[in-house]
Structure 1
């Protein structure tokens, strides 16, 4: 499939999705959200791919927000539909993907951009990155999960402050808050993300998928995360990866996981 707004590169079991609207600072519009959904869907089905990196084209922005022109004339029901559809197609979809998604934040990650990074399983930022949720300056609130995921990652008080002030924070502040896992120079960002993804790719894909389910369960209403962990732990024993992993350990060799 040919995309207009994203690029996908595959190499050594790793896929890189680049949002490719540099003249718009990679802002998210409806076609881009749809293409991202399709791209992630393809990679989810690709048995060769074991980890995904999401980043922005150019050196200025990961995603500098949503395309405001698209919704500036919306009414209440249209606005609610926009948020619901976006969460379904992209943000919730990414969070619940069975393959790990690493956000490589290479510049501005604002509004929907930060929400996309937060929906990813973890984040690595370049030293020049700036992050924030400026929606209240438009008379809005974050609508793609920002009011939920930001408190989960950095705590309620800090999230309240960042959302209400609309302040941007730099990469080092994001690191100290626990919003990102690592900060590296921009020239090193993709290499660092790839090395991290390669470490993940060496491990059991089936176990990683079940770990994602168990970890996510802790943040879902009405779900007992401990029970979900027990269930997924038990299911691991029925996989070929479990047999290979334990056999390799006993034979003192590196495992060759097939993701089955």
Structure 2
């Protein structure tokens, strides 16, 4: 199945336009489940293109994004999985020019720069490119069954879609080297201890936890959240001037006056 050509201005996202993703949208959130179960949600060129389409929509219509994969089901005995990595069959055929094009790194960087926060709900394997996709999120919630790592060196390549720098920022150099240079695979508990995920939940509660976080974010002022995320990721030398400039813009926003007046009115009661 080839997905329909996405209309960049289309609203809401049309679930029928996607072949590798399950997409649902409501007023405050877009939930995207990676959906290639036959290959453990391996990330191929079509999935990359479809995730770019989601990004196009979220850049023009900012909402919280929840990324997940197949969820385990007790009744069927199936195990959950986020993404086993890049599609090896495709990866084997890629050459120098493909590496220089930054196929996955470009997508993950775009996801990291989305206006509103991104939440990764992680169950089962999140390996290679799947792990790097998760690193691009602002929040990661996992289960005990989570297995996260970077096995690229065992395949004769390196983790080149963000792990060599995002992972060091997230867990520190010693643990990052264990994962990148020695192939260490972290369990859900390991990820929680290392700070790679912020919450460890039962698989049956994973999406509920992600949605609860998305709802919490949605209750905040969207412009304030977007501005804070943008300034947070600016280089150190941009501060404090960037903070002052951003705050100056927020100080003139209608939401600032409305929300502060509501706070004062509530306090008077």
Distance 1:228 1:186 in 2: 40
Matching residue of 1:190: 207
Matching residue of 1:76: 96
Structure 2 unaligned regions, length at least 5 = 1-13, 73-79
Matching residue of 1:86: 104
Matching residue of 1:208: 225
Distance 1:13 1:39 in 2: 15
Moved over 3 A (4+): none
Per-residue CA distance 1:118-141 (angstroms, 9 max, x = gap): 101110001211100111111111
8 Å CA contact retained: 2:20, 2:35: yes
For 1:13, which of 14, 18, 28 is the aligned residue? 28
2:269 is aligned with 1:252: no
SS in 1 for 2:229: helix
2:9 is aligned with 1:31: no
Q: Which moved more, 1:130-139 or 1:36-45?
A: 36-45
Residue 249 of structure 1, CA deviation: 1.3
Distance 2:41 2:20 in 1: 8
Distance 2:48 2:88 in 1: 14
8 Å CA contact retained: 1:132, 1:168: yes
Per-residue CA distance 1:176-224 (angstroms, 9 max, x = gap): 11111001000000001111110110000000001111111147xxx42
Residues 55/234 of structure 1: CA separation in 2 closer, same or farther (3 Å cut): same
Matching residue of 1:55: 68
Distance 2:96 2:136 in 1: 25
Q: Which moved more, 1:72-81 or 1:94-103?
A: 72-81
Structure 1 unaligned regions, length at least 5 = 254-260
8 Å CA contact retained: 2:32, 2:68: yes
For 1:141, which of 149, 158, 164 is the aligned residue? 158
Matching residue of 1:256: none
SS in 2 for 1:151: helix
2:248 is aligned with 1:234: yes
Matching residue of 2:137: 120
